[in-house]
Structure 1
Amino acid sequence: MALLFCMDMKLDSFSWTNQRKKSFFEAPYTTRQPQRKQANIVATEQTTTQKHSLKLASSTPSHNIFRLVPIFVSFLLVVASISPVLCLPIVSDSGHHLPANQTFKPHAELLKLKRIRAYLRKINKPASPDGDVIDCVPSHQQPAFDHPELKGQKPLDPPERPKGNGTEETITQTFQLWANSGESCPEGTVPIRRTTEKDILRANSIYRYGRKPRRVRRDSTGNGHEHAVVFANGDQYYGAKASLNVWTPRVNDQYEFSLSQIWVISGSFGNDLNTIEAGWQVSPELYGDNYPRFFTYWTTDAYQATGCYNLLCSGFIQTNNRIAIGAAISPRSSYNGRQFDIGLMVWKDPKHGHWWLEFGSGLLVGYWPAFLFSHLRSHASMIQFGGEIVNSRSSGFHTSTQMGSGHFAEEGFRKASYFRNLQAVDWDNNLLPLTNLHQLADHSNCYDIRQGRNNVWGTYFYFGGPGRNVRCP
């Protein structure tokens, strides 16, 4: 009853604002005159008629009123003293609190709310179909420029591209889901996938978020990382280029991933390992879903403390306003159906020495500054292409996480995952075909690889597999 009473009082106060302001206790005084007359009549009757008992006289309505007035006033004072606790604010249908001196007008409130929502839809872009929110960040404010050696600087102009990098046959140009509706960021900004609390909570810690688990040997059989790759070594390399088709492999465990990428490597496979990496990956831990996403990575100490995925630390400098690193790739290849691939090239700028990344048909994404590295500051000693998965053995046996399409290399085109037109960049910034390649499948019963060459695809290979099967327990 106290809550209801308090709310009624507040509602009455709205109508009072449009009239003469009155004290709360003013109204009873305006109606006292009739009560006085009634009291006089009762008093006269009591003096002329002595047959009424004191008990009867004291129980008359007029006397009850006088006795209830102080009680009523006390009650109001008590209610007023506790009303801050008991009173509920007046709320409109739209959920907004109304000021005490404002009359609630539902139609006006609804119209105002509709206008606000329309305005927010205009200025706040909706999430893309993959659930991402893409922020357009001024180029000079991207994470890379938090690095002490980059403070106050701006992205460099595009470098000279390798010679011999002419147009080539492309099966189908791929895009990203967020840009399918024609969205892009304005000139002078770069699109950055927004990181959420949920993203970080999926990682073991803030420190490990956005970093690969440490691994030292690329062919280690004991750290859970398994590969099907081809590589070239024994020379000085200044870049690598290839086209690879995009799939949606099944990843069995949240803490596993499946990727296809190019590695540019220098140093030993000890604590001084330098790598630059780019490709596509499915990583539920990093992204919270099973979409294949365009990614980059770098490290200068074998994945220990330096480097990260994408733009999650100071390192890679993005220059492109159309490509969002970490965003989902669409469309994807389908088994025995249409094939979609992306072109990737990483090369060292002869003028400044930075390592640049190209995505698709001539889209420069950005660069890794040379000062980030030790061995890669001069050149690479190995380039590598292919697939990698993490086998956590969370169920006590080999994972069923797929690599590539999830099918073995022997199934070939439209069924297996591939790399084609493998090339290297030499010291004079020339693109040359790769022929002196070595194959490695460290768990060939789970994921394998098969290399070939023809006049259309140049040097190519198929790779991948289903993971756990009768030959891969």
Structure 2
Amino acid sequence: MDSHLTSSLIPRNWKQWKFWIFVCVQLLLIVGSTQADRKLQQQSANQLRQLQAHTINNNTQHAPPVMSFSVSDGSWVDCIPIEGQIAAYHPALNGHKIHTEPSSSTRRSSRVQSSHLHPQLFAREQGGCPEGSIPLKRSDSSHKFLKKSTTNGTELIIPKGNKREIHEHVTVALQQSPHSYSGSHAVFSVNGPILESEEDFSLSQLWIFDGEWDDGTWSTIEVGWQTQPLMHPHDEPLAPHLFIFWTHDAYNNTGCYDLECPGFVQVDSKWVIGGAMPSYTTLAENKSLEFEVELEVLYDPAQSVWWLYVNNDPVGYWPASIFDGRLQGSASKLEWGGEICYFREANVDVRSKTAMGSGALPLHGYPIAAYLRNISYADADGHFFDAKPSVLRRHGGRQFPLCYDIAIQENGSRDWGAYFFFGGSGLNNPVKDLREILKE
């Protein structure tokens, strides 16, 4: 080595020593920072891989909340970063860019009067979550994967341990036709049905179907309100809750309620999916008032997703990719109506006292009986039409009409379009008892 070059690199006084010490320290900091960044990136990648692996076992968790709020009904709401919600870790959504709003405004015009009072307490009391986050009702139930079932409105019995799980429906539907529908809409009365047991549930909803039941490809999007104490054990006993549900394999292994598993992507900061609807009517109250919620699901072809609108707000969406080849831009069947679920021992054949709707039969009409109004649908091209009674097919209620029934109507005294009354109080609560209640 050249001795002159070597000696020129050796500091000859204290100022030079300080300069070279400073340079070395900065180099060490840069190297350390780079290594730390790499470590953080590696940890982040490892965490993502772990979350994706957990998805397979339905154990995926939301990211930690940025804020949490106590609501006056006793529930807690956590504000989760939009990118940190469970949906972000669905295997079919790897690399999915979250849509913050629909690409098109072509949809059904709103049929409810706007109100400054939000239907849910969280939005009323807290105004919503901070920007970039969504509200998540803190789970107080161990039921992370809850199945629902339907077979075109007929009674369905599913063995569950020593008990039979029995579902009964009263619904109306459009004729099943492949690739025919891309949207569903209705305005729902919101009621507080009385349940026979805390195991039971009662609901009102719309269904969007595709696939076949027999080969296990039956796929659904479901939205409505439900009273289900097992999911909300600390809430007011009758309180109905906004809910969503989906499956792509006939309720066997995929899908869930609300945001309990990867799938639905929420973007709205105010609506709490799974949250209570405190404004609702019981049988004793709805002689003078009915509370309502407007629900719509519409496919967005530019984004390849099914958007959910609640009272005209775009709350979130189901990406078509989660349905494993079904619901790819269109559906084969639409349905609207009510459902109850109850349980019986194997050798017991007594029907349920759990109420559907308000608990009143359709013959009582407005404002006593529960209803869905302004029922409409979008064809495969996204154009909306009123669902005329002549095209609606009734399911359920015929075998035991004193339990639960449904009555399709049209062109009443109000601008309700196509609508129906539905519900009942169960076989052990005959009509004459309801009439006595209504006289009080």
Q: In which range does the TM-score fall when normalised by the shorter chain? A: 0.7 to 0.9
Q: Which amino acid aligns with 1:230?
A: V
Instruction: Show the counterpart of 2:55.
Output: none
Q: Match for residue 230 of structure 2? A: 285
Is 1:162–1:425's contact at 8 Å kept on the other side of the alignment?
A: no
The answer to whether 1:368 aligns with 2:318 is yes
Deviation sequence 1:372-396 (CA, Å, 0-9, x none):
1132124111100010001313675
Assess, with a 3 A threshold, how the Cα gap between structure 1 residues 141 and 248 changes in structure 2: closer, same or farther.
same
Q: Is the 8 A contact 1:174 1:331 kept in 2?
A: no
Q: Distance in 1 between matches of 2:156 and 2:314?
A: 36
CA apart distance, 1:287: 1.4
Q: Deviations over 1:28-47 (max 9, x none)?
A: xxxxxxxxxxxxxxxxxxxx
| Deviations 1:237-289 (CA, angstroms, capped at 9, x unpaired) | 00100000101111211221000001001112232110000000000111114
Residue 405 of structure 2 is matched in structure 1 by 448
Aligned partner (choices 294, 297, 307) of residue 245 of structure 2: 297
Cα distance in 1 for residues equivalent to 2:93 and 2:218: 23
Q: Kindly indicate whether residue 187 of structure 2 is the aligned counterpart of residue 243 of structure 1.
A: yes
Q: Distance in 2 between matches of 1:268 and 1:187?
A: 41
Alignment of 1:65-464 (within 5 A): 126-151=69-94, 153-161=96-104, 163=106, 165-170=108-113, 175-196=119-140, 199-200=141-142, 203=143, 209-213=144-148, 218-223=153-158, 224-235=166-177, 236-270=180-214, 271-288=216-233, 289=235, 290=237, 291-333=239-281, 334-360=285-311, 362-373=312-323, 374-393=325-344, 397-435=350-388, 436-442=391-397, 443-454=400-411, 456-464=415-423
Q: Distance in 1 between matches of 2:326 and 2:417?
A: 30
Q: Deviations over 1:310-333 (max 9, x none)?
A: 000000000100101000012113
Inter-CA distance 243–276: structure 2 relative to 1 (3 Å threshold): same
Superimposed CA distance per residue, residues 76-124 of structure 1 (whole angstroms, 9 cap, x where no aligned partner): xxxxxxxxxxxxxxxxxxxxxxxxxxxxxxxxxxxxxxxxxxxxxxx97
Structure 1 residues 163, 154: closer, same or farther in 2, change over 3 A?
closer
Quick check: 1:262–1:279 contact (8 Å CA) kept in 2?
yes
Q: CA deviation at 1:366?
A: 0.4
Q: Please give the root-mean-square deviation of Cα atoms over the aligned residues, in Å.
A: 2.3
Matching residue of 2:425: 466
- State the one-letter code of the partner of 1:170: Q
Larger relative contact order (Cα-Cα within 8 Å, sequence gap ≥ 6): 2
Q: Identity over aligned residues, as a percent?
A: 34
Q: TM-score, normalised by structure 2?
A: 0.72
* TM-score computed with the length of structure 1 as normaliser: 0.68
Corresponding residue for 1:75? none
Q: Assess, with a 3 A threshold, how the Cα gap between structure 1 residues 430 and 162 changes in structure 2: closer, same or farther.
A: farther
Instruction: State how far apart, in whole Å, the 2-side matches of 1:380 and 1:310 are.
Output: 21
How big is the shift at 1:210?
Answer: 3.2
Q: Which amino acid is 1:321 matched to? A: S
- How many Å separate the matches in 1 of 2:76 and 2:392? 41
Q: Could you give the per-residue CA deviations for residues 417-437 of structure 1, whole angstroms, max 9, x where no partner exists? A: 000001101222221111210
CA distance in 2, matches of 1:418, 1:151: 41
Gaps of 5+ in 2: 1-65, 159-165, 432-440
Deviation at 1:151, TM superposition (A): 4.1
Do 1:452 and 1:459's aligned partners in 2 also have CA atoms closer than 8 Å?
yes
Are the equivalent residues in 2 in contact too, given 1:132–1:178 (CA < 8 A)?
A: no
Mark the CA change 1:300 to 1:325 in structure 2 (over 3 Å): closer, same or farther.
Answer: same
2:336 counterpart letter in structure 1: F
Classify the secondary structure of the residue corresponding to 2:422.
strand
In structure 2, what is the equivalent of residue 20 of structure 1? none
Conserved? CA contact 2:68–2:78, under 8 Å: no
Amino acid at match of 2:221: I
CA distance in 2, matches of 1:326, 1:245: 17
Number of residue pairs aligned between Structure 1 and Structure 2: 340
Amino acid in structure 1 at the alignment position of 2:217: D
CA contact under 8 A between 2:111 and 2:187: conserved in structure 1?
no
Distance 1:274 1:228, change over 3 A: same
User: 2: CA distance between counterparts of 1:464 and 1:250?
Assistant: 12
Distance change >3 Å, CA 368–CA 321, structure 1 → 2: same
**Paired position in structure 2 for 1:108:** none
Q: 1:222 to 1:471 in 2, by over 3 A?
A: farther
Normalized per residue, which structure has more strand? 2
Summarize the Cα distance change of 1:331–1:312 in structure 2 as closer, same or farther, 3 Å threshold.
same
TM-fit CA distance, 1:214: 5.2
Query: Given the superposition, is the C-alpha separation of residues 311 and 356 from structure 1 closer, same or farther in structure 2, using an over 3 Å criterion?
Result: same
